[in-house]
Amino acid sequence: MIKSMTGYGRVEASEQGRNIAVEVKSVNHRFLELSLRIPPPLFPLELELRKKISENFKRGRIEVFIRVENGNGNTDGTNINMENVRNYFCALRKIKEEFGLLDDVSLQMLTGCRDIFSAPAETQYPPELLNRILSTLDEAVLLMTRMRCDEGLALYQDMKGRIKTICDVLAELQGRSPQVVVEYQKRLTERIRELTSGCDLDESRLVQEVALMADRSDITEEIVRLHSHLNQFTELLESDEAMGKKIDFLLQEMNREVNTIGSKSNDMEIARYVIELKSEFSKLREQAQNIE
């Protein structure tokens, strides 16, 4: 079954007096792109974490946030030197008063000052804490995967319904095609009689003209290819592998066949069917953009 590229998972845990929060989310992307925001003690494991996550997904932009707090609620990733913050704040207020500046001292100004933030004293986590972080990450990834599967099921049901609608329209279009030739022959005959004022018609020439028109407007080949593409499309929807790129390619091919049908036919009824088909294919392409 297809999977969506949209998903979210968040898991919280605790270990050795530390609070662990892991959040993962994914959105559409042509390729697999990972963005990690992790505490400095996990930096040496970044490549391993990327490999661990990429084994579960083929496409999508995936963002991973790992936060570790100690008992007082401060993160292990960054230390804040509050004494320096106070000094900088007082200095900025003094400058403001000295020169009569209107701007208030803002957080943006303070974060641009040096020596406010410093690296943590701890450079690595103990094995028990590290294992707990990794297992929490696995749980968050599993939650996101389940959500992607649930979203994929919703996409599958919607797209299957649209495929049925397309097949119904194709059946009506296929039934209309022979009638177009008959109506063209009738209109052509009446027009020639009108122009020739009752003179005898060259029946063989009329038949030849109708045959040429029928050959130019024949859409049997396009309909056969459309049915073939629709069968492949259904098989891809039911596949367990990541098929988003192939589905997108098939939709492009099917849209091209519908455009050809529209250009070949000079019939208002078929033109209406073509518009309906293009509308359904457009909706399918929008949905396909979210398939892994």
Q: Interior CA angle at 230 toward 228 and 232, to 5°?
A: 70
Quote the radius of gyration of the chain (alpha carbons, Å): 33
Question: Is the pLDDT score of 190 beyond 80?
Answer: no
pLDDT at 201 over 90: no
Asked whether residue 205 carries a pLDDT value surpassing 70, the answer given is no
**What is the pLDDT, as a whole number, of residue 217?**
65
Question: Can you give the pLDDT at residue 1?
Answer: 77
Q: Which of 24-33, 110-119, 198-207 has the lowest mean pLDDT?
A: 198-207
Contact between 223 and 173 under an 8 Å Cβ cutoff? The reply is yes
Give the mean pLDDT of 201-228: 73
Q: What is the pTM of this model?
A: 0.68
Predicted confidence band of residue 211 (pLDDT cuts 50, 70, 90): low
Torsion sign across C-alpha atoms 223, 225, 231, 281: negative
Crossing angle for the helix pair 268-288 and 244-264, to the nearest 10 degrees: 170
Q: What is the pLDDT of residue 100?
A: 84
**pLDDT for residue 142 is more than 70:** yes
Contact assessment for residue 209 and residue 185, using Cβ atoms and an 8 Å cutoff: no
Q: Helix (H, G, I), strand (E, B), or coil: what is residue 7?
A: strand
Percent of the chain at pLDDT above 70? 81
- Residue 253, amino acid: E
Using CA atoms, how far apart are residues 124 and 136, in angstroms rounded to an integer? 18
Residue 75 has pLDDT above 60, yes or no: no
Q: Whole-number mean pLDDT of the chain?
A: 84
Residue 268's pLDDT band, with cuts at 50, 70 and 90, is confident
Q: Is the pLDDT of residue 225 over 60?
A: yes
- What's the confidence (pLDDT) of residue 69? 85
**Burial of residue 85, with CB atoms counted within 10 A of its CB: 0-12 exposed, 13-18 middle, 19 or more buried:** middle
Q: Is the predicted pLDDT of residue 228 greater than 60, yes or no?
A: yes
pLDDT value at residue 266? 74
Q: Is the pLDDT of residue 215 over 90?
A: no
The pLDDT of residue 243 is above 80: no
> What pLDDT does 194 receive?
66
**Tens-digit pLDDT profile for residues 272-292:** 999 999 999 999 998 988 888
What are 78-100's pLDDT values in tens digits? 677 888 888 888 988 888 888 88
pLDDT mean over 93-120: 79
The residue type found at 251 is L
Give the pLDDT of residue 175. 85
Residues sharing a CB contact under 8 Å with residue 32, sequence separation 6 or more, in sequence order: 54, 57, 58, 59, 60, 62
- CB contact at 8 A, 62 and 35: yes
What mean pLDDT comes out for the span 35-40? Answer: 90
pLDDT of residue 244: 82
C-alpha 113, offset from chain centre: 41
pLDDT at 209: 66
CATH architecture of the domain with range 7-77+124-149: 2-Layer Sandwich (3.30)
